[in-house]
Every structure is written in C-alpha cells, then in structure tokens.
C-alpha cells in the first residue's frame, strides 16, 4: 500500500496570530514520525491542517495514495476521512454522555467505514480488551487512560491508513503515557498503520518513532532522519536533554 504525505511551505494561523510558518515535512508509508515541540509551538495546528479542520493560508499538502495525489488544502474533513486519514485529537475529545460502544460506532460514521464495522470493532476490542468489558459504560465516566484508549480505538473505526495522534500523553500518569505510546507503536507494527504523532514527551516519543521533526514557534527547526540523529542534535540537547546529557 503506497501512501505518502508531503507538506511544503505551510503557513497557517488564527486571525493575526501565525501558528505555522513555512512548515515542510513528509511521512512515508509504514513510518512512525514524531512531531516534537512544547506547548503552543504549532503542533496541534499542523495536525488540524492535515485533518482539514484548519485551512492553511499558504503552502501545499498532498496525500499520495497508490500513485494518485490528493490536494488536502482543498478537501473537507469528510473527504479526508474517506481517504483514510484519522485523527486522535488532543485531550481525547470523546462524547462523554455516549457509551463506549456508541463512541466507537460514531468513528465508523462514513459509509465505507460502516461496511467494515464488524471487522474494525473486532480489531478495536482485540487491541484494547478493556473497551469490550466496558462497552456499555458512559465514556465520560472512564479513567483518563481508558479514555485515551477509546479515543485511539475510535479513530481506528474508520479503517485509516494514516493515523494522526495529537499529544497522546496529555493528562496521563507516566506509567499510562508509556503504555499508550507502546500501544501506538503496536498499531504501526501490527496493523501497518502510518503514524504522525505530535508529542512533547521527547523520550517517550522517540521510543516508537523512526524519525522526527522539532517545531519551535511555528517553524521546523530540526528535521532528523533517524532517532539517533535526533538525539545527537544540539538544539534537541538544549531543549530536551539539557539535564540528562
């Protein structure tokens, strides 16, 4: 399955505030790419641009599937979901007053996903057995870790090929962060999902990433081709590993 996401010269913002300036990055099939940066540097805006929630002001974003290029800057979120892009939003954004099962079924809202619902539900329950046990529980009454599992499982319900994961570690204890990141790594390994993950926890993210980018004040300041290159970078040492190296 050939798939690649290429972003080039992307500007985006809210009114007078520029959140992204000339961002370029690419993600190839089967990779797990980390987008690293602390809060307020534009990670979420970039993820929202790819998902079609925020329209970029300039630049290009194209998703090539089996040799056919799709211009993401011109597509609605519905069309982007249909192309096989799913997003696990920051803060999970579940429907708290609906049950676990109802949340999952909403993940399969698109017509193509409805046809696959039996299979995808089985995959979701197999990957996250706790969700099967709690399928009739209201999503809002679950613990933070379980809610994060549900948010990821809900994204899997649309049969995605590219999974965007925005800040999976937010609001979770260190142990749960570690478990969540491991799960995302397994999705990449077992289901062959291509993953673009925005994260501020450097050490956790590089455990599963094949390479990564550092974004500061809306600009990509480091583009590293391997985790080792990332760890050896001076900016990274200064920003993240200052106390350790």
Partner 1 sequence: MDLLLDAVVIGVLLGCFYAAVSIGLSVSFGLLDVPHVAHPAFLVLAAYLVFFINEHYGIDPLVAGLIITPLFFVFGLAAYRLYYETFERRGSDAGVRGIAFFFGVAFIIEVLIILQFGVDQRSVTAAYIGKSWRIGDMRIPYRMLVAFGVAMALTLLLTLYLSKTYMGRAIRAVAQDQEALRLMGANPIRVKQWAFGIATAVLGLAGALLIIVAPIDPTLDRAYIGRTFCVVVMAGLGSMSGTLVAAVILGVAESIVLTMFGASWAPAIAFAMLLGVLAVRPQGLFGRRS
Give the residue, chosen from 17, 76, 118, 242, that forms a contact with partner 1 under the rule CB under 8 A: 76
205 Cα distance to chain centroid: 12
Q: Does 50 sit near partner 1 (CB under 8 A)?
A: no
Please list every residue from 129 through 148 that binds partner 1, using CB under 8 A. Answer: 140
- In the DSSP assignment, the letter for residue 42 is S
102 binds partner 1 (CB under 8 A): yes
For β-strands 68-71 and 58-65, DSSP reports them as: antiparallel
Asked if residue 51 binds partner 1 (CB under 8 A), the reply is yes
Decide whether 164 or 220 has the Cβ nearer to partner 1: 164
Count residues near partner 1 (CB under 8 A): 29
Question: What is the C-alpha separation between 148 and 142, in angstroms, rounded?
Answer: 10
Region 154-183 residues binding partner 1, contact defined as CB under 8 A:
154-155, 158
Q: Does 37 bind partner 1 (CB under 8 A)?
A: no
Site for partner 1 contains 237 (CB under 8 A) = no
Cβ atoms < 10 Å from Cβ of 188: 20
The yes or no reply on residue 98 touching partner 1 (CB under 8 A) is yes
Among 55, 58, 97, 237, binds partner 1 (CB under 8 A): 97
Instruction: Rank residues 102 and 229 by Cβ distance to partner 1 and give the closer one.
Output: 102
**126: three-class secondary structure by DSSP:** helix
The window from 14-22, 76-84, 198-206, 209-217 that contacts partner 1 (CB under 8 A) reads 76-84
DSSP class per residue in 184-213: HHHHHHHH--EEEEEES-HHHHHHH-SEEE
Q: Is 110 in the site for partner 1 (CB under 8 A)?
A: yes
Q: Smallest distance from the beta carbon of 55 to partner 1, in angstroms?
A: 13
Written as six digits, the tokens of 72 are 């993401």
Alpha-carbon distance of 54 to 215, in angstroms, equals 18
Distance (Å, whole) CA 205 – CA 170:
13
Angle at 193 between CA 192 and CA 194, to 5 degrees: 120
Tell me the closest approach of the beta carbon of residue 77 to partner 1, in angstroms.
Answer: 5
CB atoms within 10 A of CB 173: 12
Listed ranges 33-41, 78-86, 142-150, 221-229: which one lies at the site for partner 1 (CB under 8 A) = 78-86
Q: What is the 3-state composition of the chain as percent helix, strand, coil, each rounded to the nearest 5?
A: 40, 30, 30
The residues that touch partner 1, with contacts defined as CB under 8 A, are 51, 53, 76-78, 81-82, 86-87, 89, 93-98, 102, 105-110, 113-114, 140, 154-155, 158
């Amino acid at each position: 399955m050939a798939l690649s996401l290429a972003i080039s010269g992307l500007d985006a913002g809210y009114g007078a505030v520029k959140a992204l300036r000339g961002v370029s990055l690419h993600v190839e099939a089967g990779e797990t790419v980390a987008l690293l940066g602390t809060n307020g540097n534009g990670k979420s805006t970039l993820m929202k641009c790819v998902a079609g929630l925020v329209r970029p002001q300039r630049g290009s974003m194209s998703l090539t599937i089996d040799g056919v290029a799709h211009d993401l800057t011109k597509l609605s979120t519905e069309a982007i979901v249909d192309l096989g892009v799913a997003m696990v939003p920051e803060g999970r954004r579940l429907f708290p007053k609906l049950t676990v099962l109802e949340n999952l079924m909403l993940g399969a809202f698109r017509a193509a996903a409805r046809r696959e619902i039996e299979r995808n539900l089985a995959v979701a329950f197999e990957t996250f057995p706790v969700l099967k046990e709690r399928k009739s529980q209201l999503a809002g009454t679950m613990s933070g870790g379980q809610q994060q599992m549900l948010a990821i499982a809900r994204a899997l319900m649309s049969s995605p090929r590219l999974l965007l994961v925005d800040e999976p570690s937010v609001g979770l204890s260190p142990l749960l962060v570690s478990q969540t990141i491991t799960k995302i790594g397994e999705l990449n390994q077992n289901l062959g999902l291509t993953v673009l993950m925005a994260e501020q926890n450097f050490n956790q993210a590089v455990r599963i990433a094949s390479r990564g980018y550092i974004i500061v004040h809306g600009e990509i300041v480091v583009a590293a081709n391997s985790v080792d290159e990332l760890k050896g970078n001076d900016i990274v040492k200064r920003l993240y590993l200052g106390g350790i190296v």
